[in-house]
Structure 1
Amino acid sequence: MSIIWLIIVGAAAGFLATRFMNLQLGTLQTIGIGIGGALIGGLILRFLLAVTGMLAGLVGAVLGAMLLLWAFKTFIQK
């Protein structure tokens, strides 16, 4: 996945994850969470499930972003 595509998918994943988890963050935080989630989730899905494609990347990115948001809410935002 190219870096530009990772940023685009990460931004979308961060937006979706913050909406699913009902959390209001700034734009840069949302994009950062999404990109981090894209890295984590995308790698996990590719290695564990051996699934490729844009849809699998988006699903992995959203799941990874949701995991990071959970950790953010649990450990940092208190």
Structure 2
Amino acid sequence: MGIIMLMVVGAAAGFIATRLMRFESDIPTTMFIGIAGALIGGLILRTLTTIMGAMAGFVGAVLGAMLLIWLWQRYRR
């Protein structure tokens, strides 16, 4: 997946993850969370992508972003 595509998918995943976890943040933070989550989720779920196709990559990006939000909320206090 190209860098630009990773950023677009990551930004979308960050938006969805922040809404699912009711996490309020500004746009750059949301994009950063999504892009970092896409990297984490992409690494973790690479095997799932080969089995289920491209949709699994998006699911992995959302899950990775949700993991980062959870960690952020837990240890930022």
TM-score, length of structure 1 as denominator length: 0.91
Displacement of 1:56 in angstroms is 1.1
Matched residues in 2 for 1:23 and 1:54: separation? 26
How many residues align structurally?
A: 75
Q: In the alignment, is the contact (CA less than 8 A) between 1:44 and 1:60 conserved in 2?
A: yes
What RMSD over aligned residues (CA atoms) do the two structures have, in Å? 1.0
Mapped to 2, the partners of 1:29 and 1:57 lie a distance apart of: 21
Paired with 1:8 and 1:54, the residues of 2 have a C-alpha distance of: 14
* CA deviation vs aligned residue, 1:28-59 (integer Å, no higher than 9, x gap): 00000000000000111114x3x233311110
TM-score (norm 2): 0.92
Identity %: 60
Q: Is the aligned partner of 1:34 residue 2:23?
A: no
User: Structure 1 regions of 5+ residues with no counterpart?
Assistant: none
State the SS of the aligned residue for 1:22: coil
Deviation at 1:21, TM superposition (A): 0.2
